[in-house]
C-alpha cells in the first residue's frame, strides 16, 4: 500500500510540474482588425475563385479574394504592379492543435465576424476561417510574421509586440482564425518610362 501512495504522489508531482511548464509556455491569444492599403506585385491569379497572391514591397506575401466590387479584375496579370486595399481580422491562438483540428486543419466558422466601430461593416466580406498554420518567416526588423495555411496560401502579419516577436520561431504551429481577406480595391500602377 505504501508503494501505491508513493507512486500516486510521484504522478501528482509530475502532472503538476508538467502543467506549470505548459502554462509558462502558453501565450495569451491575440486578436486584431486591420485595413491594409499597399502596393505589390502580382505573383499568382486564380480567375475561377478570384484569388490573387501579391508580394508587398517588404517581401511579404498575401493571398486575397477580389470582391465583386473590384472592376476590371480580368485585366490584371502576373508581374503587374498594383495598389490594393483589403480588410483582415486575425485571432492567433498559441496552442497545440486538437486532434479534430489536425484531422480537419481548415474549418469555416459558423459565426461571422463583426467589424469594430468606425469600420464600414459592408466592406468586411468573406467567410471566417479557422486554420492550423505554420510560421514560415519572421522579419524582426520590419516586425512581420509570414504564415502558411493548409492550402498553401500565405499571409504576412504586421506585428506590434516586440516581445512576442522574439518568442516566435519558424516552424511553430498555431491556430489562426481570420476573415478571408477581401480586396475592396485593386488598381494597376502604370510604370513611368
Q: Is residue 16 part of a domain?
A: no
Q: Is residue 9 part of a domain?
A: no
Q: Is residue 153 part of a domain?
A: yes
Q: Is residue 22 part of a domain?
A: no
Yes or no: say if 90 and 35 are a contact pair by the CB < 8 Å rule: no
pTM confidence score: 0.55
List the single range of 95-104, 114-123, 134-143 with lowest mean pLDDT: 114-123
Q: Is residue 52 part of a domain?
A: yes
pLDDT for 144 equals 95
Each as own residue / partner, the long-range contacts of residues 53-57 (CB below 8 Å, 24 or more positions apart, any chain) are: 53/153, 53/154, 54/82, 54/84, 56/156
How far is 178 from 93, CA to CA, in rounded Å? 11
Q: Is residue 40 part of a domain?
A: yes
Mean residue pLDDT across the chain: 77
Q: Is residue 56 part of a domain?
A: yes
Q: Is residue 5 part of a domain?
A: no
How far is 39 from 43, CA to CA, in rounded Å? 13
Q: Which domain holds residue 62?
A: 29-188
Amino acid at each position: 500500500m505504501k508503494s501505491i501512495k508513493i507512486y500516486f504522489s510521484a504522478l501528482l508531482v509530475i502532472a503538476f510540474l508538467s502543467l506549470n511548464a505548459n502554462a509558462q509556455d502558453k501565450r495569451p491569444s491575440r486578436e486584431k482588425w486591420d485595413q491594409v492599403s499597399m502596393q505589390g506585385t502580382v505573383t499568382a491569379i486564380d480567375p475561377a475563385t478570384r484569388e490573387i497572391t501579391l508580394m508587398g514591397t517588404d517581401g511579404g506575401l498575401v493571398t486575397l479574394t477580389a470582391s465583386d466590387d473590384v472592376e476590371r479584375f480580368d485585366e490584371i496579370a502576373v508581374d503587374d504592379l498594383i495598389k490594393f486595399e483589403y480588410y483582415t481580422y486575425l485571432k492567433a491562438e498559441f496552442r497545440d492543435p486538437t486532434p479534430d483540428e489536425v484531422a480537419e486543419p481548415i474549418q469555416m466558422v459558423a459565426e461571422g465576424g463583426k467589424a469594430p466601430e468606425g469600420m464600414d461593416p459592408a466592406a468586411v466580406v468573406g467567410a471566417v476561417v479557422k486554420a492550423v498554420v505554420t510560421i514560415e518567416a519572421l522579419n524582426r526588423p520590419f516586425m512581420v510574421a509570414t504564415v502558411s495555411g493548409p492550402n498553401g496560401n500565405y499571409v504576412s502579419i504586421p506585428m506590434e509586440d516586440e516581445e512576442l516577436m522574439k518568442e516566435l520561431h519558424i516552424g511553430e504551429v498555431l491556430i489562426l482564425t481570420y476573415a478571408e481577406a477581401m480586396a475592396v480595391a485593386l488598381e494597376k500602377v502604370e510604370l513611368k518610362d
